[in-house]
Amino acid sequence: MALSYQARKRWALAILLIGLPVYLVVAVNLVDLFDRPPFLVELAIYIGLGFLWALPFRFIFKGIGQADPAARTDDGTN
């Protein structure tokens, strides 16, 4: 079942405001479980984790910055 534009917009906002900060805390605590690696290794870990969090949600974020496709006027303009 496909989500409507408004539903995807709400989910995207919830993910960014609630899910991303929680994910950041979990990622930092996960890296802190081990001895602190060298700076470049730690940077690579954070970049990798930063990329991985968005993969499951890319269908929600796709097209959110554009105008609502269902909110067209009679003359075909937004």
The total number of structural domains that make up the chain: 1
Q: Which residues form the domain of 37?
A: 23-62
Is 76 or 6 the better-scoring residue by pLDDT?
A: 6
Per the structure block, which two tokens stand in for 24? 């950041």
- Report the phi/psi class of residue 72: left, alpha or beta, with left for phi > 0 and alpha for psi in -120 to 50: beta
**DSSP assigned state of 77:** -
Q: For residue range 9-66, what is the model confidence (pLDDT) as tens digits?
A: 999 999 999 988 998 898 888 888 888 888 998 889 889 988 888 888 888 888 888 8
Question: Going by C-beta distance under 8 Å and a sequence separation of 6 or more, which residues neighbour residue 46?
Answer: 27, 31
Residue 11 within a domain: no
Residue 17 within a domain: no
Q: Hey, is 9 helix, strand or coil?
A: helix
For residue 76, pLDDT over 80 is answered with no
Place of tokens 């075909």: 76
